[in-house]
Chains A and B, each alone.
Chain A
């Protein structure tokens, strides 16, 4: 089974030919270097570790900043030779991006392993010590194991590392098992959790819409109008009453009364009150993210504890 068959066609330094000795040497070298870096960092004294992490963060940030700000050639293809330094950097930034993103994926995979280890440690301890509700922990461990095993076997039989295989006509036990676990159990349980939100909205809305002050009265009134505007029958009835009061024709009174149609009120509230408020909050958040990212990138983030 060629595990590397799904790699794209190699064209440059970042991608050696598939299945070649050079690629294997690079992978093993990266693996060894990665683990050496992790162990090296964990044994380094704190005062040395901090600047090293700062430099790595700065370089990573610089790469992505350049990627966004450097002029990007639109009709770039991998066979072209760059003309000049600006185009050279632009080409380099474009063809190195998949590799840089792969660093991120490899790290995420490693850290997911740490997360799973934490989960297993907590729940295995509960099972071993017969903690109250230990059965739930056992269920979690069993489900996690089954999902991982059948997920991997299903992938190997249905898709595999190379091209997709045609197993739709002859699904085997592992395909049924995976479909049962994922489509039959997981997706439905996910939907159950999601649908519970409806009941939580009821209870939260009940508390929020109690008349306690002028502000809560305004909130209640606006909320009632918006809710009514979502009910087709009520909306039609309301608008008929408004039209009757405004009289027929296109006079000033009728024109004024058209502002009181339920749809018009809803649109006004959403466009003139809700959207500007949300945008104002989003501007603040965007500037906050900018400041936080800048501090992290330049290594001047102090944290609350210094």
Chain B
């Protein structure tokens, strides 16, 4: 049976990242004081809800085209926090969703928020709405809600695609304060252009820890920071190593497979600078590239006639 060689480095890297996250969660649970920098977009949540309360208009929350997954759950977590703030002041909310599974979960979470605040009667079951799972039908439905209900604050957080600007510009047109976050990097510039505050990249995932200061979440966030530092460190180290190897290290031999058994052989060549596929960094990260594999010479026992055929040393 043949098995696909996926290499070990990627899996090792994921294991290390997971270890960082779990270790920091444990550290935070033990009561270590961990620092989180200020995130302007999250500080603006109270300002936006307060503005809606003053104007007596609803707060709109949209997780874009997010489905029931980490992004969707994170968006609904943040929306639950916003709903709690709004519920305290009796400010109406609207949540529009494009995924029926996420809609069901969001409905339960928002109902729970009102119940835990002791005001279950204020929960309006039509405030959490499934619009459509078709991208532009969804966009049209949400724009309709923005325009008809003249929302005062608009939170656009989740997976955004081409519909992001339609919603953000429509909310801008009616003067709503907007806080946005996109996990799709191509949409972040559009949101920055159209919204008042934008959470860039993983600030979206930092929101839970930032708002709740819950040890599990804060520890996880610090673990994420360690992971990013490790990734940056690996990139810098390998860039330096590859630059050095490419500029200064001479390749003095060539490795190739020969014969019916495809045996690895080594031939001496005129010294030259290394090719891209001969660099250590390339070989580590391309386990299935035939030019970049590390030859497993020591595992093959050559027969005498095979040694003669290749002429190279093993």
Contact = CB atoms under 8 A, between A and B. Distances in A.
A114 B214 contact: no
B166 A193 contact: yes
A64 B111 CA distance: 31
Given A197-B162, A305-B113, A119 B129 contact: yes
A73 B5 CA distance: 10
A106 to B, nearest CB: 12
30 contacts: A76-B1, A80-B1, A111-B100, A112-B133, A114-B104, A115-B133, A193-B137, A193-B140, A194-B136, A197-B165, A197-B166, A200-B165, A200-B194, A204-B193, A208-B193, A278-B185, A281-B188, A283-B231, A287-B202, A288-B202, A288-B204, A288-B205, A290-B14, A290-B21, A294-B220, A296-B73, A301-B216, A302-B212, A305-B212, A306-B214
Interface string A276-294: 0010111111011111111
Give the secondary structure class of B's interface: helix
A288 B224 contact: yes
A302 B216 CA distance: 7
Interface string B112-130: 0100100000000110111
Nearest to A136: B144
Interface of B: 1-4, 11, 14, 17-18, 21-22, 25, 70-71, 73-74, 77-78, 80-81, 84, 100-101, 103-104, 107, 113, 116, 125-126, 128-131, 133-137, 139-140, 144, 148, 162-163, 165-166, 168-169, 183, 185, 188, 190, 192-194, 200-202, 204-208, 211-212, 214, 216-217, 220-221, 223-224, 227-228, 231
Contacts of A291: 21, 205, 220-221, 223-224, 227
Contact of A75 (B1, B84, B165, B221): B1
Contact of B201 (A75, A80, A194, A281): A281
Contacts of A280: 201
B80 A304 contact: yes
Contacts of B228: 283-284, 287
Contacts of B17: 287, 290
Contacts of A116: 100, 130
Contacts of A190: 134-137
A280 B5 CA distance: 28
A115 B104 CA distance: 8
Nearest to B80: A305
Contacts of B140: 189, 193
A122 B169 contact: no
A270 interface: no
B224 A194 contact: no
A206 to B, nearest CB: 9
A272 interface: no
Contacts of A107: 101
Given A285-B185, A295-B220, 7 more contacts: A111-B104, A118-B128, A196-B166, A203-B169, A281-B188, A285-B201, A305-B113
Nearest to B1: A73
B3 A73 contact: yes
A121 B193 contact: no
A297 to B, nearest CB: 10
Contacts of B100: 108, 111-116
**Residue of A118, A205, A305 with most chain B CB atoms under a 10 A cut-off:** A305
Contacts of B188: 281
Contacts of A80: 1
Contacts of B1: 73-76, 80, 83, 87
Nearest to A198: B165
A183 interface: no
Contacts of B116: 305
A125 B126 contact: yes
A122 B190 contact: no
B70 A293 contact: yes
Contacts of A196: 166
B101 A287 contact: no
A294 B11 contact: no
A18 to B, nearest CB: 29
Interface string A71-104: 1111110001001000100000000000000000
A207 interface: yes
Interface string A185-218: 0000110011011001101110110000000000
Given A75-B2, A295-B220, A306-B214, A205 B104 contact: no
B13 to A, nearest CB: 11
A292 B205 contact: yes
Contact of B73 (A112, A292, A300): A292
Contact of B126 (A74, A121, A205, A283): A121
Nearest to A209: B193
**Residue of A125, A205, A208, A303 with most chain B CB atoms under a 10 A cut-off:** A303
B8 to A, nearest CB: 11
